[in-house]
């Protein structure tokens, strides 16, 4: 008797618990890939904007002119541009009051930039914990499905006088699919999490460096007549 070992047949013939485990892993994998594409696109965009903005910022353009350019009606600031706008807007507001000391003007602008920086990082960090969770738990979820499937296979042989490999193999094969699906979900999630985290750390460093450099410029401007 020939036994059908196709993936589709093994999945459809698996027990309800194993099928449920496979469904969970499939949903986790599809969701992970969605987040991977979204985060990769967002980070690439953020790095591109940072490069373009820093080229403008260090080109010698006046800060007031850059501010007006970024607040034009048809322009939508993003990433580091929002950090600059938050700092310069607060600095200008404090300076126009005429009663605030220079050091307070700069400190207020720095706090405004830090708040905007944290908001931007929170946005970019969104969904990363999900990738970490999928990467760390999927192999164990798949292993649970495998153990359950193998256990059921051996229990079904309890009433037989003679067990053969042909009787045991299909149950073991369908159970091992759960482990394979767990690895299929976990490996891309782990690799992508590490890659995105590294790029995010790099971007965070650039944001923080810009804040410090901008603060120096504001200090000079605050103390100028």
79 falls within a domain: yes
Write the pLDDT tens digit of every residue in 115-171. Answer: 999 999 999 998 899 999 999 999 999 888 888 877 777 776 666 566 555 656 666
Domain-located, residue 199:
yes
Q: For residue 174, tell me if it sits in a domain.
A: yes
In which domain, by residue range, is 125 found? 7-223
Number of domains in the chain: 1
DSSP state of 126: T
Any residues with CB less than 8 A from the CB of 67 and at least 6 apart, and which?
84, 85, 88, 89, 92
The token duo for 218 is 């504001």
DSSP string of 83-109, one letter each residue: HHHHHHHHHHHHHHHS-S-HHHHHHHH
How confident is the model over 211-220, as pLDDT tens digits? Answer: 999 999 998 8
Q: Is the pLDDT of residue 78 over 80?
A: yes
CA–CA separation, 91 and 109 (whole Å): 5
Residue 2, in any domain of the structure: no
Contact 182, 142 (CB under 8 A): yes
């Amino acid at each position: 008797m020939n036994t059908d070992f196709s993936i589709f047949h093994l999945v459809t013939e698996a027990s309800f618990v194993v099928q449920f485990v496979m469904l969970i892993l499939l949903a986790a994998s599809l969701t992970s890939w969605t987040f991977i594409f979204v985060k990769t696109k967002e980070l690439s965009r953020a790095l591109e904007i940072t490069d373009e903005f820093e080229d403008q910022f260090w080109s010698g353009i006046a800060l007031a002119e850059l501010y007006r350019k970024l607040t034009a009606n048809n322009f939508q600031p993003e990433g580091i541009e929002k950090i600059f706008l938050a700092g310069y807007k607060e600095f200008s507001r404090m300076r126009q009051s005429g009663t605030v000391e220079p050091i307070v003007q700069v400190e207020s602008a720095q706090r405004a930039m830090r708040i905007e920086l944290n908001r931007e990082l929170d946005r970019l960090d969104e969904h990363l914990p999900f990738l970490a969770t999928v990467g760390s738990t999927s192999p164990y979820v798949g292993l649970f499905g495998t153990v359950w499937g193998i256990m059921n296979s051996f229990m079904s042989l309890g009433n037989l006088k003679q067990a053969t490999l042909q009787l045991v193999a299909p149950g073991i094969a369908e159970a091992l699919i759960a482990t394979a699906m767990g690895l299929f979900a976990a490996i891309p999630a782990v690799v992508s999490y590490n890659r995105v985290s590294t790029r995010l750390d790099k971007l965070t460093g650039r944001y923080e460096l810009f804040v410090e450099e901008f603060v120096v410029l504001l200090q000079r401007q605050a103390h100028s007549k």
